[in-house]
C-alpha cells in the first residue's frame, strides 16, 4: 500500500472546507456591523433605504449561488433562474397584499351597522386588489392567498414544480448546451408575457405592490422591518452557502462536475445523468424561489418586468464575473456587480464631460457591464474569485501532490494545510 495519506481522515466539515468558515465569519461580521451602523438598532450611519439595498444584495447573492451550482458546477447554462426567483416573490407577495388589504377592508366595514359577511369582506378585498385591472373577483390562483403557511409552501413548491416538469421534459430529450439555454429563455419569456396580461390573475403589468408593509405591523417603523429582512436574508445566504458547499464537497459534487465536463462518459460509468441534472435544476430553482421571497418584500414591488429574460442573463453575467465553479465567486460577483450597478444607475456616479459628449453613467453602465463581461470571459475566465487563488498559491504553492520538501520524511501536500 502506498504511503500517501489516502484515508483523508474524515475531519469535521468545517476543517475540510475552511472557505465555508471564512465565508460565514465574514457574513456574520458584516451583519453585525450593518446592524450597529443602522438606524433601527444602531447609531444610524446607514440609511434605511441602504439597509434594504444591502438586504436585497444578499438575496441576489443567494440566487447567484444557485446559478453557480447549476451552471458553474453542473454545466447547465440556465437562463431562467430569475423566473423562479420572481415566482417566489409573487408567492409571498400575494399573501402580503391579501393580508394587508384584508385589514384595511375590515376597518372600513367595521363602521357599518351590520357586521360584514365573509362574502362582503372577500369582495371588498378583491375590489381593492383587482380594481386596477378592472376586475372585482379573485382568480383561482389566489385560493390560498389568505394563508401564510400555504403561501410559504408555494414559495418552494411553485418554482420547484415548474423546474421539475420543465427539466424533466428538457433533459429527457437530451437537450443540452446552447439549445437548453434558449429553451430556458423561452420559458422565462413566456412566463413574463403571461404575467403581463391583465387576466393572468396577478394584476398584469401593475404587479404586486406595497409589499414592504407587513400586515398588522404598521406601528413598526421601516427602519426596524428592513433590519428584520436583512437578518433573514443573511441567515438564508449563510444556510444556502453551507448547503451548496455540502452538496459540492462530496461524491455528488464529483459527479455533477463530471457531468459538466463529459456527460457521455458519466453515463457509461452508470450514473443516470438526467436524474442528477433534474435534482440540481429543481433544487436550485427552489433556492432561487426562497431568495425571491426574501427580496421582493424589501423591494416593495414586483411586476412582470422583473421576470424578463434579461434578468436571468444578468444573473449569468454576475456569476461569470465573480468566477463560476466556486461558491464564493458567485457571491462576490453578485454583490460586487449589483452594488456597483446601484451606484452607477442611481445617479451617484459623476458624469464624464468629454467636451463634445457627456458620458452619463445611467445610460452607459450597461455598456460598461457588457464590456467587462466580454473581458472577463476572454482574459480572466476565473473571474474575481480567481484573485483569491493568487493569495492561496503564494501561501501554499501547488506541488502537484509531491512532497513539500526534499527530504523523504517531509510533509506531503495532502498533510500540509491548504
Partner 1 sequence: MSTLLEVSGVSVSFDGFKAINNLSFQIAERELRAVIGPNGAGKTTFMDIITGKTKPDEGRVIYGDKSLSLLKMSESKIAQAGVGRKFQRPTVFEDQSVFDNLMMALKKTRGPLAVLFFKPSSEDNDKVAELAEQIGLSGALHRKSGELSHGQKQWLEIGMLLAQDPRLLLVDEPAAGMTPAEREHTTDILREAAKTRAVVVVEHDMEFVRRLNCKVTVLHEGSVLAEGSLDHVTKNEQVIEVYLGR
Question: Residue 242 CB, nearest distance to partner 1 (Å)?
Answer: 15
120 vs 413 by CB, closer to partner 1: 413
Question: Residue 191 CB, nearest distance to partner 1 (Å)?
Answer: 27
117 touches partner 1 by CB under 8 A: no
268 touches partner 1 by CB under 8 A: yes
| Stretch (H or E) spanning 372 | helix 361-379
**Cβ within 8 Å of residue 162, ≥6 positions away:** 83, 84, 87, 285
User: Can you tell me which of 120, 122, 152, 413 binds partner 1, judged by CB under 8 A?
Assistant: 413
Question: Residue 74 CB, nearest distance to partner 1 (Å)?
Answer: 12
**Cβ within 8 Å of residue 147, ≥6 positions away:** 95
Task: Write out the three cell numbers for 271.
Answer: 450514473
21 vs 416 by CB, closer to partner 1: 416
Rounded Cα gap, residues 91 and 141, in angstroms: 10
| Stretch (H or E) spanning 151 | helix 148-172
Rounded Cα gap, residues 167 and 277, in angstroms: 8
Binding piece for partner 1, criterion CB under 8 A, among 56-64, 108-116, 264-272, 374-382: 264-272
Looking only at residues 351 through 410 of this chain, which bind partner 1 when binding is defined by CB under 8 A? 400-401
User: Can you tell me which of 12, 134, 149, 270 binds partner 1, judged by CB under 8 A?
Assistant: 270
Question: Residue 326 CB, nearest distance to partner 1 (Å)?
Answer: 12
Looking only at residues 10 through 29 of this chain, which bind partner 1 when binding is defined by CB under 8 A? 10
Question: Residue 273 CB, nearest distance to partner 1 (Å)?
Answer: 7
Binding piece for partner 1, criterion CB under 8 A, among 2-10, 28-36, 232-240, 328-336: 2-10
User: Can you tell me which of 30, 196, 231, 252 binds partner 1, judged by CB under 8 A?
Assistant: 252
User: Can you tell me which of 165, 267, 362, 396 binds partner 1, judged by CB under 8 A?
Assistant: 267
Binding piece for partner 1, criterion CB under 8 A, among 13-21, 194-202, 274-282, 384-392: 274-282
What is the chain's length?
418
DSSP output for 345-356: HTT-SPPEE-SS
Rounded Cα gap, residues 240 and 287, in angstroms: 8
Backbone phi, psi, residue 352, to 5°: -105, 120
1 touches partner 1 by CB under 8 A: yes
245 touches partner 1 by CB under 8 A: no
8 vs 348 by CB, closer to partner 1: 8
User: Can you tell me which of 276, 295, 314, 328 binds partner 1, judged by CB under 8 A?
Assistant: 276
Question: Residue 260 CB, nearest distance to partner 1 (Å)?
Answer: 8
3-class secondary-structure state, position 158:
helix
Question: Residue 156 CB, nearest distance to partner 1 (Å)?
Answer: 18
Rounded Cα gap, residues 74 and 244, in angstroms: 12
218 vs 261 by CB, closer to partner 1: 261
DSSP output for 194-263: HHHSGGGSS-GGG-EE-TTSPTT-TTS-HHHHHHHHHHHHHHHHHHHHHHHHHHHHSHHHHHHHHHHH-H
Rounded Cα gap, residues 14 and 63, in angstroms: 23
264 touches partner 1 by CB under 8 A: yes
Task: Write out the three cell numbers for 25.
Answer: 465569519
Binding pattern to partner 1, positions 59-78, x when CB under 8 A? --------------------
DSSP output for 320-368: HHH-TTSHHHHHHHHHHHHHHHHHHHTT-SPPEE-SS-EE-HHHHHHHH
262 touches partner 1 by CB under 8 A: yes
Q: Could you list the residues that contact partner 1 (CB under 8 A)?
A: 1-2, 4, 6-8, 10, 247, 250-252, 254-255, 257-258, 261-262, 264-265, 267-273, 275-276, 279, 400-401, 413-414
Amino acid at each position: 500500500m502506498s504511503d500517501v495519506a489516502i484515508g483523508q481522515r474524515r475531519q469535521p466539515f468545517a476543517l475540510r472546507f475552511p472557505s465555508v468558515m471564512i465565508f460565514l465569519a465574514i457574513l456574520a461580521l458584516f451583519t453585525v456591523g450593518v446592524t450597529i451602523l443602522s438606524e433601527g438598532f444602531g447609531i444610524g450611519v446607514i440609511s434605511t433605504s441602504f439597509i434594504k439595498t444591502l438586504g436585497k444584495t444578499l438575496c441576489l447573492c443567494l440566487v447567484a449561488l444557485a446559478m453557480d451550482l447549476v451552471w458553474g458546477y453542473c454545466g447547465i447554462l440556465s437562463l431562467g433562474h430569475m423566473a423562479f426567483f420572481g415566482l417566489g416573490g409573487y408567492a409571498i407577495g400575494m399573501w402580503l397584499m391579501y393580508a394587508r388589504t384584508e385589514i384595511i377592508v375590515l376597518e372600513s366595514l367595521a363602521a357599518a351597522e351590520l357586521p360584514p359577511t365573509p362574502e362582503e369582506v372577500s369582495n371588498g378585498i378583491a375590489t381593492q386588489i383587482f380594481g386596477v385591472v378592472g376586475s372585482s373577483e379573485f382568480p383561482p390562483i389566489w385560493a390560498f392567498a389568505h394563508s401564510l403557511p400555504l403561501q410559504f409552501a408555494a414559495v418552494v413548491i411553485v418554482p420547484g414544480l415548474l423546474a421539475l416538469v420543465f427539466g424533466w421534459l428538457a433533459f429527457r430529450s437530451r437537450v443540452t448546451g446552447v439549445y437548453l439555454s434558449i429553451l430556458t429563455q423561452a420559458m422565462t419569456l413566456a412566463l413574463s408575457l403571461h404575467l403581463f396580461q391583465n387576466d393572468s390573475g396577478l394584476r398584469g403589468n401593475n404587479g404586486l405592490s406595497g409589499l414592504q408593509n407587513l400586515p398588522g405591523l404598521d406601528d413598526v417603523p421601516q427602519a426596524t422591518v428592513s433590519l428584520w429582512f436583512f437578518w433573514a436574508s443573511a441567515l438564508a445566504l449563510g444556510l444556502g452557502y453551507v448547503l451548496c458547499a455540502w452538496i459540492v464537497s462530496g461524491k455528488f459534487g464529483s459527479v455533477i462536475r463530471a457531468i459538466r465536463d463529459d456527460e457521455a462518459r458519466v453515463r457509461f460509468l452508470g450514473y443516470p445523468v438526467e436524474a442528477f441534472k433534474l435534482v440540481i435544476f429543481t433544487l436550485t430553482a427552489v433556492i432561487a424561489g426562497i431568495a425571491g421571497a426574501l427580496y421582493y418584500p424589501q423591494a416593495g414591488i414586483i411586476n412582470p418586468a422583473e421576470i424578463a429574460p434579461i434578468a436571468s442573463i444578468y444573473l449569468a453575467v454576475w456569476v461569470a464575473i465573480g468566477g463560476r465553479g466556486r461558491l464564493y465567486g458567485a457571491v462576490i460577483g453578485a454583490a460586487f456587480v449589483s452594488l456597483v450597478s446601484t451606484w452607477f444607475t442611481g445617479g451617484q456616479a459623476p458624469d464624464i464631460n468629454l467636451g463634445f459628449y457627456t458620458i452619463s453613467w445611467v445610460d452607459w453602465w450597461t455598456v460598461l457591464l457588457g464590456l467587462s463581461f466580454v473581458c472577463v470571459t476572454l482574459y480572466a475566465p476565473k473571474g474575481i474569485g480567481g484573485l483569491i487563488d493568487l493569495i492561496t498559491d503564494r501561501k501554499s504553492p501547488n506541488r502537484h501532490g509531491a512532497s513539500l520538501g526534499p527530504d523523504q520524511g517531509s510533509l506531503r501536500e495532502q498533510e500540509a494545510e491548504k
